[in-house]
Structure 1
Amino acid sequence: MCGIYGSTLQYSDSQVREKLERTAFRGPDKMDFKTYQAGNTKLIFGHNRLAIIDLDHRSDQPFNYFNKVHIVFNGEIYNFQEIKQILTSRGYSFQTTSDTEVICAAYLEYGESCVDHFNGMFAFVIYDVENHRLFGARDRLGQKPFYYYHNGTEFEFASQISSIQLHHNALSISRQAIDSNLCWGLIPDPLSIFNEVKKLRPGHSFTYDLASGKFNDTCYWDIDFKGKTGFKGSYDEAQEALTVLLRDAVSMRLFADVPVGVFLSGGVDSSLVSAMATQTSSAKVKTFSVKFDEDGYDESPYAQQVADHLQTDHHVIACNYAEGMDLIDNFSTYYDEPFADSSAIPSMLLSKYTRKQVTVALSGDGGDESFIGYERYIWARKGGRMYVLPRPIRQLGSALLNLSPNYRHKMIGMALGLKNVDTAYLTGMTEIDGGWIDSEFDSRDIDQIRYLNHRDKNFYERISDFDLKTYLNWDINTKVDRATMAYSLESRSPLMDFRVVELARSFPTEFKIKKGNTKRILKDVLYQSVPSHIFDRPKAGFTMPFAHWFRHELKDYVLDELNESGLGQIPGLKITEVSKRIDQHMTQSWNRYPLIWKLLVLKQWLNKNGTGLTVK
């Protein structure tokens, strides 16, 4: 995993170095850039390398493959050895043992369809010398980021937006992105915090003609969200197929020329990955979990139970308030777009200490979306029964519930008055109580709504598809990439192997959830290796006690930052309404910590990264 950069804009060598140094934490092993004369265009490729496979300098980037193509690449191609064998049989030669070189040869052999052959997480750009063009792609599920600026013959790209921002004089802050951030807590694809910069969507590739400046964006992969491909076998056959596939997905992600470990929270997904790792690795597996001192936030004993059963070399990382505060102060350095998932902080702490022992860590991310694992799915399905009532009756019930002093009753009342269960789920994934937002845009009007608003699948399947295309990509993958890369740690997710995702989408719903038993088939695979009684407990989130801190240790900080003057620095707010909600949190009448965290993050970004820029 690394950081990539490229541009046709005319920057000095010192400016290019500064752009690379801005995100040097992504790749501390080697920083370099090269300049090419592509017809009348001066092209710059830059790279920060985190060496994982073939540690020799021969695999440093930008990489030149026989003067035919040049590449900058972030990520891993897990099946590169298999592809390499095929290409070798067709006459291609290789000077390294890296996957980077295989991408180059695969492009020469297969052209743009080379991405169909890659199993991995990746964002790369190839300079095709003969055709005077760039070809790039982002992996199917968006595990690796890709930002780009395009204005005719001006083209600039990077792994993180701050590298584009530095020394760029034509950027403005997007009011639409701010509205989206206030609504979603993040900035959805393809938007970015700047009007002039976009994100390449997951499962998309592009070509850019260096002479004409023409940019073409193509979707090369998507989930089967209309349910056209169904699994034909029995439950036992499905379980066997999944077991074989998961074992292969884990095994290929254990391959590296550096130490590898596993994040182990003690939940189903990370425990399954840990179990598969112990079964496929010849060495003792290192596992890592976080311990918090505050009551109700420490699941490390459960992780220890799993580690003891699997006999891993387990490490518990103790985290505290002081370390959390330090990361809050520097949050926008690494999350260089506004991003309000508070579990980013414990993710960074886990990454910081895991990196002291390994360079690669496997995770259990992706299981909840593919195998219908979130508890909110059950609550949404149960709540959906209310929507068989005529809307006028529901609106009356909504008005009555809104009279209650209990904020949970008020939230139910807000949902009850909505059009239907699909709208209720969408609203619940955003900001259901949005009366404090002074919006100029409808932030729920997104292209990805098509995965939710159709009737070709049942409700469970549609909302999990929707989450896979939104929450997993926009939130989970962003959180994990920035948290791990902040400490030069590579995270790999076997449950996001596209073959696993496609197989899961093909399973009948009852294989994944039955009588309230979420992730049914995934659990049954796990229970072949770890006793089920270890998991007889409610599912917990990965977070820190921000609600408590904002009322106590961080109360003065919150009130200083988000006073009337401070709130006035943030576009899109109804200040009186926001202040009322902050007061509700402080008086413990309503848990408003997500709102407070969202505003703190956005204000920090505006103060540190947005100074002097116009909002429009």
Structure 2
Amino acid sequence: MTGFADWFGRQSSEEYPAIITRMTDTIRHRGPDDSGFWIQPEAGVVLGARRLAIVDLSPTGHQPMSSPDGRYTIAYNGEVYNFQSLRKELESCGHTFRGTSDTEVMLAAINEWGVEQAVRRFNGMFAFALWDEKEKTLTLARDRIGVKPLYYGWSGGVFLFGSELKTLRSHPAFQSEINREVLPLFLRYLYIPAPFSIYEGIHKLQPGTLLRIRQGEREFFTYSYWSAREAVLAAQNSLFSGDEQEAVSELQGLLFESVRERMIADVPLGAFLSGGVDSSAMVAIMQAQSSIPVKTFTIGFEEQAFNEAHHARAVAQILGTEHTELTATYDQALALIPRLPVHYDEPFADVSQIPTMLVSELTRRHVTVSLSGDGGDELFGGYTRYTWAPRLWNRLRGMPLGLRRSAASLLGNLPPAQIESVMRILHPLLPADSRQTLYADKVKKLAEVLPASNPLDIYWNLISTWKDPGEVTNHASEPLPLVRDTAQWPELEDFTRQMMYLDLVTYLPDDILTKVDRASMAASLEARVPYLDDHRVVEFAWSLPQSLKLRGTTSKWILRQVLGRFVPPELFERPKAGFAVPIDSWLRGPLRAWAEDLLSEQRLQQEGYFRAQPVREKWNEHLAGSRNNQYELWAVLMFEAWLAQQGGRR
């Protein structure tokens, strides 16, 4: 989806068809099945769409689509899963329909109830642009959790918007420069948090938000139709009061309904299966509602420390799915890296973008839609920091700060190889719930949080990669993102809930969902997320007492109970493993020449975005094996690779 509003006449209306065609062509991967545009020349409003046909494959689903009375025209990316029940309700109100698409139902709902009330009824993932011919207003909307992206902003006197930045860049009026102020945020978090983007004047529309701008005006207004903050507070004030088994059954029922709606498609459908709790529970519920084996897909690596594929294989065998597995080679992974800046559009440095793109490409060779288990960690307490950080703080608070600083210095200077050698010996002696992979990374994190002065210091440290990015960036001051703006936080009962809330509204949409959307869409694959794009699941999860999520060192307790009704516990009761890749060794080996070129002192000094000395120090430490600086370096490398792909634009 893309478009622009040129009501100050920066271009001739005769140029509009060529401009919008170029804009939609840049996002052909998001919709290879059909394309279209709509122009209102008097207002200077142009909407464009690419279509990945999922429901109603006929021409009646063509976009942009106008309402029968001509008042509303919409360009839309995503799916509204409750469109069938909405359609029945609208038919009882007198509406008739030409086809069977959810787009047509959305327009009828907007016509019947107005934009704000209609969007509150939509259950799904979506980003849309809507022109109201009667009111002469343009409205942009994004789904509640931020599954689907939407960028917007004024550039060169034209109001631009679209699903990806590349479509805005292709407009001839695009003049925005790189926003240096967001570089510290990027180095710290490995993504650029909303509402910021890499370009000055271009923003990400926040989840659950509507933006409205009137013809002939420059000022726009944004307001929330759904707020995670308000939803969390409402749920916390009305906690689930049933017993444990009632809670498990209630969650299972909600997930059954959410998954069932997301299995509606007129094209082949499957699921990502990692073998972890989230994806396994989702696939189990899919298979329980399917008369044929569900198609499942997983990715593994040749390095066994990073290969979790055997867990997925075991779950697939128990559930009886039609399972496809790819063991990615070095060559496959390394060949993908030069394409990352093209698909991620702005600097993005979550290394799991690599396996996510590989599994998306694998999956698209077999199906057009894949369900994904994202969101389980944020909703049900899956990240180790939710149990680890509070326990650590309770122990640290009684230790003298000087002693903690000394211990941090000692641990921080231990070579990664030495740590791994020692822990390989000790591993069999550790309690099962304390066994981990990649011990050196854990020790490094411990060293970094030991000097914390309060619980939030631990959390902020854990989610920060470059701890002081101001020392690395030139001429940039760090803006205040939501994750550090305590004035915008809800008052929650404890530190763990606070971490879970912040991850829900920052890390989840800006990292996890961005990663999945760009990777899947690059392969023209629609990824659906039943834990997240059904707000009823999100709201129910927040109404649960913490004791149903976290028990001692056991995370996601209630989701494990749901999964345990389908799969033996021994298949999923193990330490959490991330979707990791061996970037540390690749940077010392097959990626070394590529990285050396991007991190050269001359290059860094000439571009002027980063100070060469601290970057080169990190690089040399990493090459020597004295420190594992893979994530800090990957952030700089992804910016440099993106900048090179942009032609070195300043």
TM interval, short-chain normalised: over 0.9
Map of 1:89-128 to 2, 5 A cutoff?
Answer: 89-111=92-114, 112-128=116-132
Name the structure 2 match of 1:416: 450
Equivalent of 1:23, from 22, 27, 32?
Answer: 27
Shift of 1:535: 1.4
Unaligned ranges ≥5, structure 1: none
CA contact (8 A) 2:5 2:46 kept: yes
Match of 1:470, SS?
A: helix
Shift of 1:445: 4.4
Unaligned ranges ≥5, structure 2: 416-439
Match of 1:579, SS?
A: helix
Shift of 1:377: 1.8
- Once the two structures are superposed, residues 42-93 of structure 1 have per-residue CA deviations (whole angstroms, 9 ceiling, x without a partner) of 1111011111110011211111111121100000000000011111101111
CA contact (8 A) 2:49 2:64 kept: yes
Name the structure 2 match of 1:510: 547
Name the structure 1 match of 2:616: 579
Aligned equivalents of 2:506, 2:373: Cα separation in 1: 18
Match of 1:157, SS?
A: strand
Name the structure 1 match of 2:527: 491
Name the structure 1 match of 2:511: 475
Shift of 1:416: 2.8
Match of 2:304, SS?
A: coil
Name the structure 1 match of 2:426: none
The more displaced of 49-58 and 567-576 is 567-576
CA contact (8 A) 1:153 1:212 kept: no
Shift of 1:551: 1.0
Match of 1:150, SS?
A: strand
Match of 1:314, SS?
A: strand
- Once the two structures are superposed, residues 110-168 of structure 1 have per-residue CA deviations (whole angstroms, 9 ceiling, x without a partner) of 11221110100000111111111112210000000000013797321000011111223
CA contact (8 A) 2:168 2:174 kept: no
CA contact (8 A) 1:174 1:193 kept: yes
Match of 2:296, SS?
A: strand
Does residue 60 of structure 1 match 2:62? Answer: yes
CA contact (8 A) 1:448 1:466 kept: no
CA contact (8 A) 1:291 1:318 kept: yes
Does residue 161 of structure 1 match 2:170? Answer: no
Shift of 1:395: 4.3
Q: TM-score, normalised by structure 1?
A: 0.94
Shift of 1:451: 8.6
Aligned equivalents of 1:248, 1:417: Cα separation in 2: 46
CA contact (8 A) 2:182 2:478 kept: no
Does residue 458 of structure 1 match 2:494? Answer: yes
> CA 1:142–1:451 in structure 2 vs 1: closer, same or farther (change >3 Å)?
farther
Shift of 1:318: 2.6
Name the structure 2 match of 1:184: 189
Superposition CA RMSD, Å: 2.0
Does residue 82 of structure 1 match 2:85? Answer: yes
> CA 1:247–1:402 in structure 2 vs 1: closer, same or farther (change >3 Å)?
same
Does residue 307 of structure 1 match 2:316? Answer: yes
Name the structure 2 match of 1:4: 2
> CA 1:455–1:30 in structure 2 vs 1: closer, same or farther (change >3 Å)?
closer
Q: Which amino acid aligns with 1:72?
A: A
Does residue 271 of structure 1 match 2:306? Answer: no
Match of 1:538, SS?
A: coil
Match of 1:76, SS?
A: strand
Does residue 565 of structure 1 match 2:602? Answer: yes
Equivalent of 2:409, from 390, 402, 425?
Answer: 402
Map of 1:35-434 to 2, 5 A cutoff?
Answer: 35-37=39-41, 40-66=42-68, 67-111=70-114, 112-150=116-154, 154-166=158-170, 167-223=172-228, 224-226=231-233, 227-389=236-398, 393-404=400-411, 405-406=413-414, 411-431=445-465, 433-434=467-468
Shift of 1:214: 3.5
The more displaced of 69-78 and 277-286 is 277-286
> CA 1:481–1:507 in structure 2 vs 1: closer, same or farther (change >3 Å)?
same
CA contact (8 A) 1:372 1:518 kept: yes
Name the structure 2 match of 1:14: 18
CA contact (8 A) 1:23 1:163 kept: yes
Aligned equivalents of 2:128, 2:481: Cα separation in 1: 30
Name the structure 1 match of 2:640: 603
Shift of 1:569: 4.8
Q: Which amino acid aligns with 2:59?
A: H
Q: TM-score, normalised by structure 2?
A: 0.90
> CA 1:449–1:282 in structure 2 vs 1: closer, same or farther (change >3 Å)?
farther
Identity of matched residues, %: 36
Shift of 1:15: 2.8
Q: Which amino acid aligns with 1:135?
A: T
The more displaced of 175-184 and 503-512 is 175-184
The more displaced of 583-592 and 406-415 is 406-415
Match of 1:560, SS?
A: helix
Match of 2:175, SS?
A: coil
